[in-house]
Amino acid sequence: MAEDTATGRVAALLANFCWVELDSPGPGAITRLLCTRRTRLGKRGVQICSGDRVRVEAIDWAAARAAVVALLPRSTLLARPAVANLTRVVVVAALAEPEPDPLQLTRFLIAAEATGQAVDLVFSKADRLDGAAVAAWRERVQAWGYEPIAVSIPGGHGLEELRARLSRPGLAVLCGPSGVGKSSLLNALRPELELRIGAVSGRLQRGRHTTRHVELFALAPGALVADSPGFNRPLLPGDPAGLARLFPELRDRLDRRSCQFRDCLHLGDPGCAIEPGWPRESFYRQCLAALAAGSDGGQSRCAPGRRLEDGRQETRLDPRLRRGSRRRRRQGAEAAEPLEGISSPDREG
């Protein structure tokens, strides 16, 4: 390959730039380039994510700069946080400050399972609860089909088990709500990173956003870990019929026995393989209802508009989400008021 062309993996996105870790060192043993993205990628609708493999050209080795010109094929994609080519999703939940929300945790696990990759569950801040409370949470999620790791950073409990899982070859991404300690876990595993961390809001018991972008770090040879910004409401996958198989406790039952009807939504209908009364049944029903109502699943807020000269479709905000002008709202309010001296038929006794 020519010296002004190389391939590598996107390690971080920063505004209009991205850091690309090269597959092979360049002149001067350079392994990382600060890159722009060619405008034609955006015009074709190509979105670059952390973890993507890309081709770069126009390399300035002296300045360690280049331009991303092509996106190489992806194997997997996690939509939020946006990470490509991952092999493991690690959902992190705090046992205290903030307290775990079982429905929110379920939504994170569903989003992780939708990638089709290995899913791990980590309970951080285990030192904030007594042993019985930690054991109760472990037993609860074991019924969900997960073997969690309870981690205490001050005492170092669980860190080596977590390190062993994250050191497997591939790309693992840490995801979870703000304030659960994702960056703190990476600092404990690699102290030299010195990632920025913040305290949980005392009034709302919510984490403050200290991680602003997804960034990849090497934890072992061939093993990368992505730190990501926290968020509180992961989107559900868009297909209600496939939701059940994203619950491991249901997936195991469905692998052993099939429902009588292919389009069964496992709500207690005749011939269903899932008996009612399972641990996360209420959460499943809430998620299914959100999908059926069209209020979740990452649906677009845009509606098709007119076709542009170059053949692209203009997108417009869905009319149902538009706010009328103040003038029209005021005129509508005035029109609704009854004229003086004339009673409204609806108000006549």
Q: What pLDDT was estimated at residue 340?
A: 46
Mean pLDDT by 10 residues, the chain (349 residues): 81 89 93 92 88 95 94 90 92 90 94 94 93 95 96 91 93 89 88 65 43 81 86 81 94 91 88 92 94 64 40 42 54 51 40
State the CATH class of domain 5-74: mainly beta
Instruction: Name which of 62, 63, 66 is nearest 6 in CA terms.
Output: 66
- pLDDT score at 209: 42
Torsion sign (Cα): 48, 52, 54, 56 = positive
CA distance 71 to 75: 12
Predicted local confidence at residue 179, as pLDDT: 83
Check if CATH label 3.20.20.105 holds for domain 83-227. no
Q: Answer for the pair 248, 144: CB distance below 8 angstroms, yes or no.
A: yes
The pLDDT of residue 310 is 41
Query: Tell me, what's the pLDDT at 263?
Result: 86
Rounded CA separation 333/247 (Å): 49
Amino acid at 211: T
What does the pLDDT look like over 145-202, one tens digit per residue? 999 999 999 888 999 999 999 999 999 999 988 888 888 898 899 888 777 654 444 4
Domain boundaries of the chain, sorted by first residue: 5-74, 83-227, 240-289
Helices 159-166/182-189 angle, 10° precision: 90
Measuring CA to CA, how many Å separate 145 from each of 101, 158, 162, 247, 322? 17, 19, 18, 8, 43
pLDDT > 70: percent of the chain: 78
For residue 305 the two structure tokens come to 């508009």
